[in-house]
A and B are shown apart, each in its own frame.
Chain A
Amino acid sequence: MTHSLPPANERRPKSVYGIGEEPDVRFSFANERTALAWIRTGLALVAGGVALTTLTQFTHGQNVLLDLVAVIACIAGGCLAVVALASWRRNERALRLNAALPAPVALVWLVAGILVMTVCLGGYVVYNSVVSV
């Protein structure tokens, strides 16, 4: 029963709705929520960057390393939002073609990036506390 759906040629993007057949609507909803969860992950990175900026502004005012990390976190967050939209399209296409879902490529990059950043910031904290003793 597709009585309330708009005609296929009016649904955007055409690269998604022009192919395959209508999947179980629950799967489409799940794909939508997955994309939103990725977008929120990106937002969390931006929030981390903004928090770091706030921290540097309210303490020393000038800290080149923390500023750099904040810029990188914000840019990575913006990139994740773009990746979220791209993966939504890929997943929705796979759902409509009844194909296997593609692997979440961004996950590896996200985890690797967060690990590198954790090690760097942790090292910086240890270095600072050793120097100040």
Chain B
Amino acid sequence: MDRWFDRGLQPERTALSWQRTGLSAASVSIVTAFIAVRVGLSAVAIAAVLVATTAVALALLRFPRARVHVSGLTDPWPVLLRVGVIVVAAAVLGALVPSYSFVSSLLSSAGVQ
């Protein structure tokens, strides 16, 4: 088990990959929050800020700790599942804003005020 230790920096690369993912999720959610505020969907904005906070927390929790180099100690599935849920939530929130403006333009072109 020690033969591969730090060769190729696998744990570090994986931890950095987690961080990239968490920070990307956070930035997408923050932009969603801004645009939701602009459109006037404040509930969506609040949810997006919550999603962004959770994404940052998940990224920080997978930060490389000096002596944890055995993959079995940190099986990825539980965190992977949470990040998956976060991304799906970000996708739903991101889809809500254009759906809202899509429906409202259809309504206004149908003459409903």
Q: How far is the CB of B80 from chain A (nearest CB, A)?
A: 6
**Most interface-central of A1, A50, A78, A85 (chain B CB within 10 A):** A50
**How many A-B residue pairs lie within 8 Å, measured between CB atoms?**
161
**B20-31 to A contact mask, C-beta < 8 Å, 1/0:** 110011011001
Within 8 A of A (CB), among B81-113: 81, 83-84, 87-88, 90-92, 94-95, 97-99, 101-102, 104-106, 108
- Cα-based distance from A67 to B35 in the complex (angstroms): 13
Count of chain A residues with a beta carbon within 8 Å of a chain B beta carbon: 55
How far is B102's CA from A46's CA once the two chains are assembled, in angstroms? 17
Whether B88 and A56, one on each chain, are in contact in the complex, defined by CB atoms closer than 8 angstroms, is no
Q: In the complex, given contacts A53-B98, A57-B38, what are 7 additional A-B residue pairs having Cβ atoms less than 8 angstroms apart?
A: A4-B70, A11-B75, A26-B10, A33-B13, A43-B28, A62-B101, A62-B105
Q: Are B35 and A81 in contact (CB under 8 A)?
A: no
**Within the complex, which residue of B24, B35, B70, B76 is in contact with A32, where a contact is CB–CB below 8 Å?**
B76
Look across to chain B and name the residue whose beta carbon is closest to the beta carbon of A62: B105
A-to-B contact residues, CB < 8 Å: 1-2, 4-6, 11-13, 16-17, 22, 24-26, 28-30, 32-33, 35-37, 39-40, 42-44, 46-47, 49-54, 56-57, 61-64, 66-68, 70-71, 74-75, 77-78, 81-82, 84-85, 88
Q: Which 8 A-B pairs have the closest CB atoms?
A: A78-B91, A5-B72, A74-B95, A81-B87, A70-B98, A67-B102, A74-B94, A67-B98
A67 and B99 contact, CB distance less than 8 A? yes
- Give CA–CA (A24, B73) in the complex, Å: 14
**A54 and B35 in contact, given A26-B4, A26-B8 (Cβ under 8 angstroms):** yes
Contact of A78 among B18, B32, B35, B88 (CB under 8 A): B88
| Of the residues A17, A33, A61, contact of B17 by C-beta under 8 Å | A33
B14 touches A33 (CB 8 A): yes
